Structures are given as structure tokens and as C-alpha cells.
Amino acid sequence: MLAEVAALDLAAQDLPFLVDVYRLKKVDEVRYLPDGLMNRNWQLRTTGGAFALKLLLDAPVSTVRRNLSVAAALAAAGVPACPPVPTIGGDVVAEVDDRAYSLFGWLEGEHIAGTGLSAGQAHHLGGVVGRLHRELNDPGLRRWLPAAGAVTATVAAPGEAVAEADRYLRAIGAFASAAPFDVQTVELLRRRKALIAEYGHLRPATGQPAGPAGYTHGDLQHRNIIWRDGVVAGVIDWDRIRVRPFGEEIARTATLQFGGEAGELDLELVAAFVAGYRAVVAISDAELADAVDRLWWKRASDFWQLVFHYDRGDHSCDHLFFSGETFLHWWTANRGQVRDAFAARL
């Protein structure tokens, strides 16, 4: 509640400036949208229509300005990319003091968790991701995105991952009293160390990912995909455009979209999604397998939610640590079936 009040106060503080710079008509309602994890978002209802307002917190303003210009170009090319509303000066970002905002026309639709999709919709989503990759790497975007270079990937050594787990175990052990989150985390870190010890030899052998690479969206999860009438009406949140292996985004999107509440993947939907992608962009079974294995090891050796909780004092992603651990252990026990789903031919 306090976070919501603070967010509403901030929007009210900057609203007169935003009304002027975006030439908005009378604002009838400002509604805070609490679902965003990294930025702050509001819905503005005005006599001239409804809009989505974002306070930019998760990326440098220069990067966001570049990426929103790219999103506008993609939308002009027919990609469902939700272009920004320009300011009176033609900018895609409005800056006031040390704060920066972007504004978008309100897009009616819904965010559907991946397991709520049909196989046909999963196939459609894969095709949309393929189109995004194809259009993001069109030479016509070189005005904003330079030619993509070679990519490499960090592969953490098992000892490095264990050392990071031990760092958090020591930090928790030094507390005068442990909160429930700390108690659960200790048990999960011990389980993670055991997993690393047993399966660390299966990590990728090199830092050179296989397969095609280029510019990608960077965060294709259900909160950033708007559905209407059974199809993707819009893809939002373009803060993280950068060069990556295409297989990395395929694997990440599939695991985020099609993970169930019990911590398992819906492998039939994964297969449909990948088939939809491959109908647009060519990528081999071996290249997909490499991407899947790399993502599995990244999940096994990474502790980003604990970085947020303990190193930054940000508890907004605590729940993702617990669900992520459940999923990691399921994935590890079913690595063969997961790889097969990514290679399925439908």
C-alpha cells in the first residue's frame, strides 16, 4: 500500500508537466498498475483516450530512447510492438528533473500466463517471436542498431557457483535472528549446492553459443505480451534490446511462458511454440539443444533473486527464488524430455 501511495504521489507531482509535454487533454483518472517488476506504471484516462505511463527505472535513458525508437520502427513495419507516443518535441522519452517517462496508447487485451494458451496460440506466439527476431535484424534499423557482432556466453565454474551460495549462507548465519525467508533460503541453498555437485560436469564446455545470433527483445514473458481475440495484439517493455543468441531467447521465453504452478514445463506447448518459431527462422536441433543446456546451467549457477534480496535490499522478487528453485530441480530431473520438446517436429 505504501508503495502504491508513493507511486501515485509521484505521478501527481509530475502530471502537469506530462500533460503539457504530451498534449494530453483533461485527465480524469490516474490508476497505479502494481504488476510491473522493474518499472512503475500507471493507466491514465483522459478525455482524449486512455494511455499507459511508465516511469523508467530499469535501464539508462539513452538506451530506452534508442529502444523505443526501434519499437516505433517495428510497429511501422507491421510488428505488434506498441509504439511510444511522442512528446510535443518529437521525443520518445519525457524527462523532468532526474526522472524519465514514456507514454503509450492503452492497448486493450489481457496478459495470459503461458499454460493458459492453446497449442495453436503457442505456435502463433513462436511465429511472432520469429518475426521479432527477423525484423529487429533488418538492415533498415541500422540507424539505431549497429550491425550485430559475435556473441560469447559466460559459463560459471561449479566452484564459483558454490562459493556464491556459501556467501549467502554466511550472511544469513550472521543474522541475530532469521526471518522465514532466510530459513527457507538456507535449505534451498543447501539443495542447490548438492545439485551443482552432482550435475556440474554437464555444464556447457565452452563460452561460444551455437546457432544464429542478433538483436532480441530480452524479456518475452507473459507480463509483456498482450493478447486479444486469440492472437498477440502487442509486445511491450522494450528496455532490454541487445545482441544475444536467438536460441537463448527461444529457451528463456518458453521456460517463462510454459512453466506450471507445480514447477514443471508443459512440454506440448513448448513444442508448439518452437515449431511456430522455426516456421519463420531457421535453427537446428543441435543449436536449440545448446541454448537449452546453457539456460539450464545459468539457472543452476545464478542467484539473481538473492542479489536483489540481500545485496540490494529489494524484496520484490523473493517469490521468484522459491518458484525458480522448484523449477530448476524439475528441469534437472527431466533434462532429456525438455531437450526433446525443443526438437519436436509438429
Cα distances from 148 to residues 26, 145, 214, 314, in angstroms, run 44, 8, 6, 34
Pick the CATH number of 2-105 from 3.40.50.620, 1.10.10.10, 3.10.129.10, 3.30.200.20: 3.30.200.20
How confident is the model at residue 38, as a pLDDT?
66
Q: pTM to 2 decimals?
A: 0.91
Domain ranges of the chain: 2-105, 114-153+202-343
- Contact of 259 with 108, CB cutoff 8 Å: no
CA–CA separation, 325 and 184 (whole Å): 11
How confident is the model at residue 9, as a pLDDT?
61
How confident is the model at residue 85, as a pLDDT?
95
How confident is the model at residue 239, as a pLDDT?
85
Regions in the chain scoring below 50 on pLDDT:
1-6
* DSSP line for 172-216: HHTSSS--HHHHHHHHHHHHHHHHHHHHGGGS-SSS---S-EEEE
> Side-chain half-sphere of 91: how many Cα atoms within 13 Å?
14
For the stretch 13-25, pLDDT in tens is: 888 999 999 999 8
Cell numbers for 339, please give them. Answer: 531437450
- Contact of 161 with 301, CB cutoff 8 Å: yes
Q: Which fold has domain 114-153+202-343?
A: Aminoglycoside 3'-phosphotransferase; Chain: A, domain 2 (3.90.1200)
CA–CA separation, 184 and 262 (whole Å): 18
